[in-house]
Structure 1
Amino acid sequence: MAELLDAMAVAATGVKAQAMRLRYVTENVANADTPGFRRKTVPFEVKDLGRGLHGVETGRVDLDPADLARIYDPGHPLADATGSYDGSNVKLIFEIADAREAQRSYEANLQMFDQARKMAGASLDLLRR
């Protein structure tokens, strides 16, 4: 029974980490057209859960060091003397790929949690008989 609870604890860390990752992906998509916005990335780190268990947690949020896109628009209020301004470095195709990967990982962790929960419930039902 303890192993099932351990599996649920590990899966819960994965669900939480992927939810946080999805949060930053949505922030990036929402700010794709914001001048000067830098894409946010979040690394995963190993989390010690005790009893020899390891889960995952999000690390410190980093800003993507890639160059900002130069946009030529002389009528824009932020345009400099050359008629250009710095856009964002968000690439929507990367964000879509990250969102899909995070969603699938989230669902896999949620499925693992649900299976462990069902198995624990079935074990308790057997003990009641």
Structure 2
Amino acid sequence: MDYPSDRRYTADHEWIAVDGEVATVGVTAYAAEALGDVVYLELPEVGAAVTVGTSCGEIESTKSVSDLVSPADGEILTVNDDAVESPEKVNADPHGEGWLYTMRVTTVPDGLLDAAAYTELVQGHS
């Protein structure tokens, strides 16, 4: 699996693409595949403050329910209503149309993985 090099990745299998002070967040293709068919998304509310490493929503699949963990500190700007209405977009295009939310970033932590390091991480899981 190829992971886009224009973003950073977490050990929780989420990605963050930062552009200035705005970031787009989603789950990785590895997470989407491991979860199975995504059937429900509970995304954070617009305007909510989120803190790195804390739960800010849920992703439910036919196999399990998992927390969405914020990859940075900031404020939620938008959520992907298309993905909420059609959660299968997360499976079909997790790095594109299946994005989850955007946020105004106040702190991006050190230690996020680049595409090569994330690929190495997930290859260790298989």
TM range (shorter): under 0.3
TM-score (structure 2 length as normaliser): 0.25
Choose between structure 1 and 2: higher helix proportion: 1
Choose between structure 1 and 2: higher strand proportion: 2
Task: Report which of the two structures shows the higher radius of gyration computed on alpha carbons.
Answer: 1
